[in-house]
Amino acid sequence: MATTSPPQVVLVTGGTGLVGNALRSVVAADPSKEHATWIFLGRKDCDLIDAVATKALFERYKPTHVIHLAAHVGGLFANLTSNLEFYEDNMRINDSVLAACVAHRVKLVSCLSTCIFPDKSAYPIDETMVHNGPPHASNEGYSYAKRMLEVHSRLCRTAFGLDFVTVVPTNVYGPYDQFNLSQSHVVPGLIHKCYLAKLHSTPLIVGGTGKPLRQFMCVARVLAHSHTSHLLLHHAASRTTSRG
């Protein structure tokens, strides 16, 4: 007798952002993803800081899988001036989402970030080193909230036997990035500065010493080739944390 697998409903939080939009394009271009219903949500669909609204959202869509991308995200200047807000918003978002994911026993992949690693670290870094020391003070609110997302996911795995995993992508850039100069990450900020310098025939001034080494990846490549992509798209039931 033929068996049919239950319908899959994949809910993507943060579906309107840089990574969420890239994921949406990949799913749209891949007929093998058609067996699942994909739902991409932004803040206007539900403010995930609100636990009651988040619970109602999950009751409405009844997801079987969740890709949790939603976060209060920003560049250096935004983090420096609003560390507390980044901490509180992200802790609340993650608490709401994980509580709903536990209640619905979904498979969950959540996104961390390489900027949460210890400020003083040996290189190369790997996922075992996330908690080995304090993050850089400039973004400690965001970093500690993301680190707690890793802890929270791991404890849910242990306590409830759920498939909750986290991935750690490097710095990404691409379409739908945030180009606002006071909010942006490095690459979109530099692109905007170049544009303005060209437009006004003014010098291009780049902040910093120029000495730090950074790693960047176009979001399309993150989703095309990496292990992160595999976890995001195939929602593997792996019980390990992985880097991008």
Ligand X SMILES: NC(=O)c1ccc[n+]([C@@H]2O[C@H](COP(=O)([O-])OP(=O)(O)OC[C@H]3O[C@@H](n4cnc5c(N)ncnc54)[C@H](OP(=O)(O)O)[C@@H]3O)[C@@H](O)[C@H]2O)c1
Binding mask 135-174 vs ligand X (x if CB under 6 A, - otherwise)?
Answer: ----------------------------------x-xx--
Active-site residue, from 87, 142, 144, 173: 142
Residue 93 makes contact with ligand X by CB under 6 A:
yes
- Residue whose CB is less far from ligand X, 11 or 93: 93
Q: Any idea what the Cα angle at residue 162 is, between residues 48 and 165, rounded to 5°?
A: 65
Residue 88 makes contact with ligand X by CB under 6 A:
no
Nearest alpha-carbon partner for 68 in 87, 46, 36: 46
Instruction: Name residues contacting ligand X, limited to 2-41 (CB under 6 A).
Output: 14-20
Nearest alpha-carbon partner for 25 in 172, 233, 210: 233
- Let me know: does 94 contact 49? Beta carbons within 8 Å: no
Instruction: Name residues contacting ligand X, limited to 173-192 (CB under 6 A).
Output: 178, 185
Residue 223 makes contact with ligand X by CB under 6 A:
no
- Residue whose CB is less far from ligand X, 18 or 165: 18
- Let me know: does 19 contact 67? Beta carbons within 8 Å: no
Structure tokens at 105: 């026993």
Residue 231 makes contact with ligand X by CB under 6 A:
no
Residue 66 makes contact with ligand X by CB under 6 A:
no
Structure tokens at 217: 């990846």
Taking CB under 6 A as the binding criterion, the range among 1-9, 44-52, 119-127, 158-166 that sits at the site for ligand X is 44-52
As measured in angstroms, the least distance from the Cβ of 16 to ligand X is: 4
Q: Does the annotation count 173 as an active-site position?
A: no
Environment class of residue 145 by beta-carbon count within 10 Å: exposed (0-12), middle (13-18) or buried (19+)? Answer: buried
- Let me know: does 31 contact 59? Beta carbons within 8 Å: no
| E strand or H helix that includes residue 243 | strand 242-243
Q: How far apart are CA 234 and CA 205, in angstroms?
A: 42
| E strand or H helix that includes residue 6 | none
Residue 97 makes contact with ligand X by CB under 6 A:
no
- Write the DSSP symbol of residue 128: G
* Binder of ligand X out of 26, 39, 42, 192 (CB under 6 A): 42
* Binder of ligand X out of 70, 76, 78, 101 (CB under 6 A): 70
Interface positions with ligand X (CB under 6 A)? 14-20, 42-44, 47-49, 69-73, 93, 111, 113, 169, 171-172, 178, 185
Catalytic residue numbers read 142
